[in-house]
Structure 1
Amino acid sequence: MIAAKSYLGKKVAVMGLARSGQSAAEALKAGGAEVVAWDDDVQKCRETELLGINISDLTKEDFTNIDALILSPGIPHSFPKPHVVAKKAKKANTPIIGDIEIFVKNFAEPRIIGITGTNGKSTTTALVGHILRSAGLPVEIGGNIGLPVLGFENTLDAGYQVLELSSYQLELTPSLCCEIAVILNISPDHLDRHGGMDGYKAAKLKIIESLPENAIAIIGVDDHESNGIAKSLEENEYKNLRVTPISGLVAPEKGVGVLDGNIVSNINRENEVVISLHDNAILPGVHNWQNVAAGTAIASTLGIPNNIIKNSIASFPGLPHRQELVGTFNRLTFINDSKATNADATARALSCYESIYWILGGQSKEGGIASLSKFFPKIRHAFLIGECSEEFADVLKGGVKFTNCGTIQNAIETIKNNIPSIYNDKVAILLSPAAASFDQFESYEARGDIFRLLIEEQILSNPDLRGCLS
């Protein structure tokens, strides 16, 4: 654990006591700060108190006596309405920061590879960590994925820190300084938390602002917003950055992308083939190809040989809940894409398969699923779950056959009953909800875990269904 000695003798409040909040409280206490912590969840407070942290209701705290507020990224500080604790801190001019700001100020020798984007952050972060480890480089993976950053080993030879950085985290890390910064893509998401698209984009751009002169910016060029950022950086020679474009569609000049089904690099020589994508079932689709391009660009920048990059990509196991292959039944394929909590993420999954049994629904996000209509001809049947079932049904009517199942359990039961009539067809049974999970589940992980369990128990291990194959 990192001891946050920059706060020695100071009084610091921690609001939000999930993993990163608890880690921040412990790091601050270890560094000699007076810590007061709170969470609206009483159970989280009890758990943190057992760690020896002072629990105090921050809604009643006098913030004129507090030097900093460490705020969980999930708690609003501005839009749509600031949490009462954030409001009190602002009124007292108390700085509001996140755990990554503590990390930046207290880590011995940070060498941060920062990765952001609306979609693909987690997969790219994990892939980059996998490549660096395969190359024998010391590396830690964290931020919005894996270990809280304040749990890293704080040594001078710690190597690289590959951090997945959300828009929320970027807003709360004013001292961030990345060695390499990546923006994969930008599409509308979390707009209520940022006051609109301009605010959301501004939060993402903080990762570029964190770069020193002559550093490296790796930018996706497959969407309008990110492509515009790449062009602007080059045209304005911002900080004299070396801008490396990445794509899952084309092979950009001086960048990394796709040509004839291969990942090719134009960084050191023209159209240098790194790896074929034809047989990679773990990273399917244009969006994942862009993730691979990002990983390749980072690795090439660090001087990792192509043969190591190739072997690392081939051995990458993927991540749970991100087009995770749960299993197959004859010609049927079962895919867990529970992480797809917006239409843009679901579009990436729908583009990968030609005949789909689609499980969707949950807590709707702005924009719904109207933008997915171009994929409707691929949908053999849709199975609606969650509170936005009626909203999504109105969009599907006339274009897609659907069943309003209510719960994921009912959806799997309905699909199971259809197995004898479809098992000889090449169909993807895809959970890609295009909605948040909080109406029925604690998290998208919990939703995906239930899907995986139900598929394994009711279909893949079902002896009665196995009889279909004999």
Structure 2
Amino acid sequence: MIPVTGFEGRSVAILGLGRSGLAAARALRLGGAIPVCWDDNAQARGRAEAEDFDIRDLTRLGAFDDIAWLVVSPGIPHLYPEPNKVVAAAWEAGVPVDNDIGLFFRSLGSGDWDHYDTPPRVIAVTGSNGKSTTSALIHHVLVEAGKPAQLAGNIGRGVLDIDPPVDGEVIVLELSSYQTDLARALTPDVAVFTNLSPDHLDRHGGIGGYFAAKRRLFAEGGPDRAVIGVDENEGRYLANQMGQGAADDRVIRVSADSKLTGPGWNVFARKGYLSEYRKGRQAGSIDLRGITGLPGAHNHQNACAAYAACRTLGLAPRMIEQAFQSFGGLPHRSQTIAEQNGIRFVNDSKATNVDSAEKALRAFPNIRWICGGLQKEGGLGPLLDALGSVKKAYVIGREAAGFALQLEGCEAEVCTTMEQAVARAMEEAEEGDTVLLAPAAASFDQYDNFEQRGEDFTACVKAALAG
């Protein structure tokens, strides 16, 4: 665990006692602070009490009289659509509001680092889509290269739960907009921006607020290197803001759409080939087409971002390529779960929005598409251009009929349940087809989370294949 320093003998309030909240309380206590905990959920308070943490109702008058700092869990709104009442009370009391990411960055360094040959470094990855795969891929490459590395943040362990880093270690963090938006300290050595598409708009007051939350990782942090996807205007703007000219190789531009061969440092993928250019000359290349764990253009963008981040650490292109070959992908993200009789079964339950589902649909030919669930704002219009490879859609969810009506020009069957959708897709699938779960919707109408939905798909497929 990373002890949180700077609050010795002072009371620090923690709002929200889930995984990150309890970890923050433990790390604060380890660093000498006095954690004061609150959660509206009685069970969550009970877990904190079982660890002998003080419980205080932070909504009551005077609750902040002796509080030096407030740490807020990422799921709790602090500004939009409206501030949580405890956050508002902290503002009124003049108490700084932070989160576990801010605590992590302000507490990471230690006196031991003065004796290290190579100080530990942090690579932080954010963006709308692909940040989990990119983070896991970077970590995988480092491990395969024999480098000490830990993976944490929005994936793997909580940031304060990791082990204190050793000499030369690299900490890879996946950071959501919820995490970057509130952190008072953001100082990664390498910051990665994958892409931007509309998501969590109510939480950030619109697309501008959402992008601003992502941008803080770069603007506040001042990383030594910035790896930036430039396939959207927001990425191009960010790269321009971070650079001091076209040849500034502190900014590495990444694309899965365009050939980038300017005077700076560029990594791009075209037709399945990754290329690295520095100062207008090719410095490395990888054929991505046969890498099972990285199918489709969206994963090629992830590969470019991971490649660029690893190159900033001095890893050779051939070493990175070798590690890519052994990357198995992440559960629920374009994950091949089975192949039989020439039919491939792919679980992309994480495709919870239209943009990520579109990328999945463009990654495979001859698709039997299982889709549907709790729709997000904006409708399915942007998906329609990506339906050319879909042979038929099998729609699940409580509003399956309404979802199916929006799939203009695509044959769709209302199945409602996962079991029925898998059964019908398998009945009709032919050699060369891909049965793809890419819902383009949230899971909460039928499941607790997208992981549970993906596990149900996997179970249905395996049961049907075994039977």
Q: In the alignment, which residue of structure 2 is the partner of 1:104? A: 105
Q: Which amino acid aligns with 2:448?
A: E
Q: CA deviation at 1:440?
A: 2.1
On the 8 A contact 1:251/1:265 being kept in 2, the answer is: no
1:59 to 1:158, Cα distance in 2 relative to 1, 3 A: farther
| Distance in 1 between residues matched to 2:271 and 2:295, nearest whole Å | 15
Q: CA deviation at 1:130?
A: 1.1
1:54 to 1:158, Cα distance in 2 relative to 1, 3 A: farther
Q: CA deviation at 1:206?
A: 0.5
Q: CA deviation at 1:375?
A: 1.9
Q: Which amino acid aligns with 2:5?
A: K
SS at match of 1:405: strand
Residue 252, structure 1, aligned to residue 260, structure 2: yes
In structure 1, list runs of 5 or more residues that go unmatched: 463-470
| Distance in 2 between residues matched to 1:46 and 1:410, nearest whole Å | 41
1:95 to 1:158, Cα distance in 2 relative to 1, 3 A: farther
1:384 to 1:48, Cα distance in 2 relative to 1, 3 A: farther
More displaced, 102-111 or 344-353? 102-111
Match of 1:441 among 424, 436, 447: 447
| Distance in 1 between residues matched to 2:193 and 2:255, nearest whole Å | 12
Residue 294, structure 1, aligned to residue 328, structure 2: no
Q: CA deviation at 1:260?
A: 5.2
Residue 128, structure 1, aligned to residue 129, structure 2: no
| Distance in 1 between residues matched to 2:431 and 2:97, nearest whole Å | 55
Q: In the alignment, which residue of structure 2 is the partner of 1:466? A: none
1:202 to 1:393, Cα distance in 2 relative to 1, 3 A: same
Residue 358, structure 1, aligned to residue 363, structure 2: no
Q: In the alignment, which residue of structure 1 is the partner of 2:251? A: 243
Q: Which amino acid aligns with 1:100?
A: I
Between Structure 1 and Structure 2, how many residues are aligned?
Answer: 453
Q: In the alignment, which residue of structure 2 is the partner of 1:467? A: none
Q: In the alignment, which residue of structure 2 is the partner of 1:210? A: 220
More displaced, 109-118 or 337-346? 109-118
Residue 35, structure 1, aligned to residue 35, structure 2: yes
The aligned runs of 1:58-97 (5 Å cut-off) are: 58-60=58-60, 62-97=63-98
1:442 to 1:54, Cα distance in 2 relative to 1, 3 A: farther
Q: CA deviation at 1:166?
A: 0.9
Q: Name the TM-score, length of structure 1 as normaliser.
A: 0.91
1:257-288 C-alpha deviation (Å, 9 max, x unpaired)? 12453211113772344321121121011111
On the 8 A contact 1:180/1:211 being kept in 2, the answer is: no
| Distance in 2 between residues matched to 1:250 and 1:139, nearest whole Å | 32
1:17-74 C-alpha deviation (Å, 9 max, x unpaired)? 2211111111112222221223333333323332332333333361233222211111
| Distance in 2 between residues matched to 1:394 and 1:176, nearest whole Å | 45
On the 8 A contact 1:357/1:427 being kept in 2, the answer is: yes
Q: In the alignment, which residue of structure 2 is the partner of 1:427? A: 433
Residue 119, structure 1, aligned to residue 120, structure 2: no
| Distance in 2 between residues matched to 1:190 and 1:346, nearest whole Å | 16
| Distance in 2 between residues matched to 1:212 and 1:382, nearest whole Å | 46
| Distance in 2 between residues matched to 1:28 and 1:177, nearest whole Å | 20
The aligned runs of 1:10-49 (5 Å cut-off) are: 10-49=10-49
Percent sequence identity over aligned pairs:
40
| Distance in 2 between residues matched to 1:443 and 1:36, nearest whole Å | 30
Q: In the alignment, which residue of structure 1 is the partner of 2:114? A: none
1:403 to 1:273, Cα distance in 2 relative to 1, 3 A: same
Q: In the alignment, which residue of structure 2 is the partner of 1:222? A: 231
Match of 1:415 among 425, 434, 444: 425
| Distance in 2 between residues matched to 1:271 and 1:260, nearest whole Å | 17
Q: In the alignment, which residue of structure 2 is the partner of 1:329? A: 340
More displaced, 72-81 or 83-92? 83-92
1:99-120 C-alpha deviation (Å, 9 max, x unpaired)? 1111111112562211111000
Residue 378, structure 1, aligned to residue 395, structure 2: no
Q: CA deviation at 1:155?
A: 4.5
| Distance in 2 between residues matched to 1:212 and 1:273, nearest whole Å | 27
More displaced, 367-376 or 53-62? 53-62
In structure 2, list runs of 5 or more residues that go unmatched: 111-119
Match of 1:454 among 449, 460, 466: 460
| Distance in 1 between residues matched to 2:43 and 2:424, nearest whole Å | 37
Q: Name the TM-score, length of structure 2 as normaliser.
A: 0.91
Q: CA deviation at 1:233?
A: 3.4
| Distance in 1 between residues matched to 2:59 and 2:401, nearest whole Å | 38
SS at match of 1:21: helix
Q: CA deviation at 1:331?
A: 1.9
CA RMSD of the aligned region, Å? 2.1
Q: In the alignment, which residue of structure 2 is the partner of 1:468? A: none
On the 8 A contact 1:274/1:309 being kept in 2, the answer is: no
| Distance in 2 between residues matched to 1:86 and 1:98, nearest whole Å | 12
1:228 to 1:4, Cα distance in 2 relative to 1, 3 A: closer
On the 8 A contact 2:361/2:387 being kept in 1, the answer is: no
1:148-186 C-alpha deviation (Å, 9 max, x unpaired)? 111122246262211111111111212111111111111
Structure with greater helix share of residues: 1
| Distance in 1 between residues matched to 2:392 and 2:176, nearest whole Å | 34
